[in-house]
Amino acid sequence: MDAALKQALDTWVDRSSPTLLIEAMRYSVESGGKRLRPILCVAACEAVGGKEVQAMDAACALEFIHAYSLIHDDLPAMDNDDLRRGKPTCHKAFGEAVAVLAGDALLTAAFELLAAGPHAGDIDPAISLAVIRLIAKAAGALGMVQGQMLDITLEGLEAHWEQVQRMQQLKTGALIRASVEAGALLGGASSPTLDCISAFGANIGLAFQMIDDILNVEGNPEILGKPVGSDETMRKATSPAVLGLQAAKVYAAGLLESALAQLVPLGTVGRPLAGLARFIVERKN
Amino acid sequence: MDAALKQALDTWVDRSSPTLLIEAMRYSVESGGKRLRPILCVAACEAVGGKEVQAMDAACALEFIHAYSLIHDDLPAMDNDDLRRGKPTCHKAFGEAVAVLAGDALLTAAFELLAAGPHAGDIDPAISLAVIRLIAKAAGALGMVQGQMLDITLEGLEAHWEQVQRMQQLKTGALIRASVEAGALLGGASSPTLDCISAFGANIGLAFQMIDDILNVEGNPEILGKPVGSDETMRKATSPAVLGLQAAKVYAAGLLESALAQLVPLGTVGRPLAGLARFIVERKN
pLDDT at A224: 80
Residue B234's φ and ψ, nearest 5 degrees, are -85, 5
Bridging pattern class, strands A83-84 and A87-88 = antiparallel
Answer whether B97 sits within 8 Å of A77, measured CB to CB.
yes
CA distance linking residue A127 with residue A21, whole number of Å: 32
Three-state SS at B87? strand
Residue A198 vs residue B155, higher pLDDT: A198
Question: Among partner residues A101, A111, A148, which is closest to B149 by beta-carbon distance?
Answer: A101
pLDDT band, residue A30 (cuts 50/70/90): confident
| CATH number of the domain within which A237 lies | 1.10.600.10
B165-176 tens-digit pLDDT: 999 999 999 999
Neighbouring residues of B257: CB distance < 8 A, sequence distance ≥ 6: none
Q: Does residue B72 surpass a pLDDT of 90?
A: yes
Question: Among partner residues B68, B128, B140, which is closest to A129 by beta-carbon distance?
Answer: B128
pLDDT at A210: 96
**Chain A residues touching B140 at Cβ < 8 A:** 105, 108-109, 112
pLDDT band, residue B47 (cuts 50/70/90): very high
Nearest chain B Cα distance for residue A93, angstroms: 15
pLDDT at A157: 85
Nearest chain A Cα distance for residue B84, angstroms: 19
Answer whether A111 sits within 8 Å of B129, measured CB to CB.
no
Average pLDDT over residues B44-72: 96
Question: Among partner residues B100, B130, B149, which is closest to A77 by beta-carbon distance?
Answer: B100
Provide, rounded to the nearest whole percent, the portion of chain B with pLDDT above 70.
96
A148-177 tens-digit pLDDT: 999 988 888 888 999 999 999 999 999 999
Three-state SS at A228? coil
Complex-level ipTM: 0.95
Question: Among partner residues A19, A96, A112, which is closest to B137 by beta-carbon distance?
Answer: A112
Q: Does residue B191 surpass a pLDDT of 90?
A: yes
CA distance linking residue A201 with residue B76, whole number of Å: 38
CA distance linking residue A99 with residue A88, whole number of Å: 12
**Integer distance in angstroms from the first to the last C-alpha of chain B?**
19
**Alpha-carbon distances of A185 from A36, A76, A192, rounded to whole Å:** 18, 37, 12
Q: Which of A22, A89, A101 to mutate to test the interface with B (most CBs of B within 10 A)?
A: A101
Neighbouring residues of B24: CB distance < 8 A, sequence distance ≥ 6: B90, B93, B94, B98, B99, B101, B102
Q: Does residue A222 surpass a pLDDT of 90?
A: no
Nearest chain B Cα distance for residue A81, angstroms: 14
Average pLDDT over residues B85-103: 95
Answer whether B108 sits within 8 Å of A141, measured CB to CB.
yes
**Chain A residues touching B153 at Cβ < 8 A:** 20
- Tell me how many domains chain B contains: 1
Answer whether B21 sits within 8 Å of A97, measured CB to CB.
no
Answer whether B21 sits within 8 Å of A109, measured CB to CB.
no
Q: Does residue B284 surpass a pLDDT of 60?
A: yes
Domain holding B56, by residue range, is 2-282
Answer whether A136 sits within 8 Å of B98, measured CB to CB.
no
Q: Does residue A229 surpass a pLDDT of 80?
A: yes
Question: Among partner residues A97, A108, A130, which is closest to B140 by beta-carbon distance?
Answer: A108
pLDDT band, residue B61 (cuts 50/70/90): very high
pLDDT at B120: 92
Q: Tell me A81's DSSP state.
A: -
A187-219 tens-digit pLDDT: 999 999 999 999 999 999 999 999 999 999 999
Q: Does residue A223 surpass a pLDDT of 60?
A: yes
Q: Does residue B110 surpass a pLDDT of 70?
A: yes
User: Which residue in B158, B208, B155, B153 sits closest to B180, CA to CA?
Assistant: B208
Average pLDDT over residues A12-26: 77
A with B: how many residue pairs have Cβ under 8 Å apart?
Answer: 147
Nearest chain A Cα distance for residue B108, angstroms: 6
Q: Does residue B216 surpass a pLDDT of 60?
A: yes
Q: Does residue A16 surpass a pLDDT of 70?
A: no
pLDDT at A199: 98
Nearest chain A Cα distance for residue B241, angstroms: 24
pLDDT band, residue A183 (cuts 50/70/90): very high
Cβ atoms B185, B205 nearer than 8 A? no
pLDDT at B16: 59
In sequence order, the β-bridge partners of residue B83 are: B88
B227-272 tens-digit pLDDT: 788 888 888 889 999 999 999 999 999 999 999 999 999 999 999 9
CA distance linking residue A14 with residue A25, whole number of Å: 10
Q: Does residue A227 surpass a pLDDT of 90?
A: no
pLDDT at B220: 87
pLDDT at B12: 62
**Neighbouring C-beta atoms of residue A188, cutoff 10 Å:** 16
Cβ atoms B147, B169 nearer than 8 A? yes
Answer whether B111 sits within 8 Å of A129, measured CB to CB.
no
Q: Does residue B137 surpass a pLDDT of 90?
A: yes
Answer whether A141 sits within 8 Å of B22, measured CB to CB.
yes
| pTM, full prediction | 0.95
Nearest chain A Cα distance for residue B116, angstroms: 6
**Neighbouring C-beta atoms of residue B120, cutoff 10 Å:** 15
**Chain A residues touching B148 at Cβ < 8 A:** 101
